[in-house]
Structure 1
């Protein structure tokens, strides 16, 4: 795998102007006062290319080969069901899919369970705020080839995280990702942010800015960067840190921040997210499950789900919508809305605000030509926010050259994300299926 990062849209919470008001782009507040509501950061597509930094413009690689023929998956009896929820959070941001994660000092019973962790199929790796960790949880640092502390800059659509790379045993349901590299955000051990990282958007270094205590990246790749960072010192990825310097460095894949699911002993080839459907006006909260593995137990079988292989470098599928094909399309639980181009709907701030709920249709296609027809709706964002509900199935906003199937797409669907090169009953990942 080349250098890969699929970015989450980590939602920001700001005041939006009503329809026709002076909403501004980016992460800033709008000019006019209006009821407080949730708003996304400036949306961006997955960022990936051979050796590209996470802040570069998305580059789509040439289509890769179709997934391999069906293979036999190792069966498991390990408890593999993780509770997930969408509910009210401190910042008021809507459509934040969250869970709790237990981490331990590797090989010990010194552990801590941290709540309010965002579940993100649009990124790879577990990232936790240093401020959320107990002082007694002394996680070992990952060091570079020079013996210096390794640190990570991760650029998302809404800003960046910066912190040390440490190892932990990550516990989810009955599964354990042993001695896995994670990012500890705003770790005092590496307080100074490198200039190129700091120029990559808003700093997401506190619970308020991050809208959570951390991010659980469970996307379609096993490491957040991969082979590109293993051979080349790329800016805005990994750094070798001393008391006075922060120097970009290469880091072996085994030491990079890792998708914990890929490190499980079994049930390690992907995930299934099940969220119930919600009413047109949304729901105050929903509680459901994320199941680990694909075809490894009776509760994670593909059944009749349509498998859509994604690009093995970028994670992209394509979406055909209203006569246009968006080759940069992705399915991302870390985006709190659907984001796409739609000239026929009025906007209010960051969002669409049609006068009535609109029903739309699109076709999502894998790189092998397999397709799935999708019907969906978009509602009036001002009305949705005024409802006070936190799980909103038809919240959407404008984007220009990509199609982001964010969290609203997950409501009422059973969605599989298969990890690159992992054996599944439908062949090797990466792919989505629903």
Structure 2
């Protein structure tokens, strides 16, 4: 069980609903380690990304070599809020007594590679320092093993992996085993998914909350599915569907890395990037799995400006508009046990990927 928390972040006091933990990185096969705080927990991505500036230079992580002589690999990681760029290195990752040995990670803004390739730098906000990233890194514990997979192993895809010299970087293939990898997949046990548990919060929010991230599904007494509804997701995208307000959104996902609920609405007033109805609105939707299993969800949307005017950082009713998809972000997690099962790994409810709650 790994402690997780929502509170004011060290680098951005205005950022709400940021789920964070601490991660220990070690030079592979050694006890030269450093624990790095303020790492965001993200069920919507795969693999560990850490700012180079947060890692002590004495923790020497080996570079992953490129496909041509005298080249090294870099990665572009694109998120809804912007992009990160950095070298691909290998590290031992330690979490809650578990070890992911010799696992590829991205070291953001690593001086070992040139600046971001042009097609990557056109991907929005450059999240290359602690203030833009709103922390020291991202821990991706989503439903897949590698962050790209077979597509990047078979062809040089833009905005993914690059082979670099000091003069520049060129899009390149990278074997799946060397790609930035979900560390859960590298554990010797409890390696088929993750359970995130956060307490409920009141309508006005809470100044902070503490919860747990438990590794494995059905592998220990504290990670049993119990009566959770299992929603099998798309084996390629990880998506399920959401039926809401007479429409069905096939691109739907449960994502602890999103700090609000994001969905289309023709009726809710907005204030910038957030909804701000005059009074709190009680809403409902239905999540639908790839096999037709359904789960109803009731949720609330409050006036964002009222929430932001408080000194609270954990909100279950913070939401904003989206176009054509439904993002069940961190507000969904409060007061629930939320499982994310890894692709192809057996669990008591069948193989992943799936969500359950």
**What TM-score comes out, normalization by structure 2 length?**
0.98
Farther-moved stretch of structure 1 (241-250 vs 161-170): 241-250
Q: What's the counterpart of residue 91 of structure 1? A: 12
Q: What's the counterpart of residue 218 of structure 2? A: 295
Distance 2:210 2:114 in 1: 37
Farther-moved stretch of structure 1 (184-193 vs 123-132): 184-193
Q: Select which of 160, 164, 169 maps to 1:237.
A: 160
2:252 aligned with 1:341, yes or no?
no
2:55 aligned with 1:133, yes or no?
yes
Distance 1:330 1:346 in 2: 24
Distance 1:197 1:321 in 2: 34
Q: Retained in 1: the 8 A contact 2:114–2:168?
A: no
User: Matches of residues 373-412 of structure 1 in structure 2 within 5 Å?
Assistant: 373-412=296-335
Distance 1:237 1:299 in 2: 36
Q: What's the counterpart of residue 200 of structure 1? A: 123
Give, in angstroms, the shift of residue 191 of structure 1: 2.8
Q: What's the counterpart of residue 114 of structure 1? A: 36
RMSD: 0.7
Cα deviation digits, residues 159-186 of structure 1 (max 9, x gap): 1110000000000001000000000000
* Structure 2: runs of 5+ lacking an equivalent: none
Q: Runs in 1 of length 4+ with deviation above 3 angstroms? A: none
User: Matches of residues 66-77 of structure 1 in structure 2 within 5 Å?
Assistant: none
Distance 1:403 1:245 in 2: 38
Q: Retained in 1: the 8 A contact 2:47–2:146?
A: yes
2:182 aligned with 1:259, yes or no?
yes
2:272 aligned with 1:368, yes or no?
no
User: Matches of residues 95-174 of structure 1 in structure 2 within 5 Å?
Assistant: 95-147=17-69, 148-174=71-97
Q: Secondary structure at the match of 2:349?
A: coil
2:251 aligned with 1:331, yes or no?
no
Q: Secondary structure at the match of 2:340?
A: strand
Distance 1:329 1:213 in 2: 28
Distance 1:407 1:129 in 2: 23
Q: What's the counterpart of residue 307 of structure 1? A: 230
Query: Alignment length, in residue pairs?
Result: 354
Q: Secondary structure at the match of 1:276?
A: coil
Give, in angstroms, the shift of residue 134 of structure 1: 0.2
Distance 2:181 2:353 in 1: 16
Distance 1:192 1:409 in 2: 37
Distance 1:344 1:165 in 2: 45
Distance 1:100 1:265 in 2: 20
Give, in angstroms, the shift of residue 391 of structure 1: 0.3
Q: Retained in 1: the 8 A contact 2:114–2:164?
A: no
Farther-moved stretch of structure 1 (338-347 vs 390-399): 338-347
Distance 1:427 1:406 in 2: 25
Q: Secondary structure at the match of 1:228?
A: helix
Cα deviation digits, residues 247-280 of structure 1 (max 9, x gap): 1110000000000000000000000000100000
Q: Retained in 1: the 8 A contact 2:340–2:354?
A: yes
Give, in angstroms, the shift of residue 433 of structure 1: 0.2
Q: What's the counterpart of residue 316 of structure 1? A: 239
Cα deviation digits, residues 203-256 of structure 1 (max 9, x gap): 110000100100000000000000011011111111111111311110000000
Give, in angstroms, the shift of residue 330 of structure 1: 0.4
**What TM-score comes out, normalization by structure 1 length?**
0.81
Q: Secondary structure at the match of 1:184?
A: strand
Give, in angstroms, the shift of residue 344 of structure 1: 1.9
Structure showing the higher strand proportion among its residues = 2
The higher relative CO (CA closer than 8 Å, separation ≥ 6) is in: 1
User: Matches of residues 40-51 of structure 1 in structure 2 within 5 Å?
Assistant: none
Q: Secondary structure at the match of 2:279?
A: coil
Give, in angstroms, the shift of residue 202 of structure 1: 1.2
Q: Select which of 328, 337, 340 maps to 1:414.
A: 337
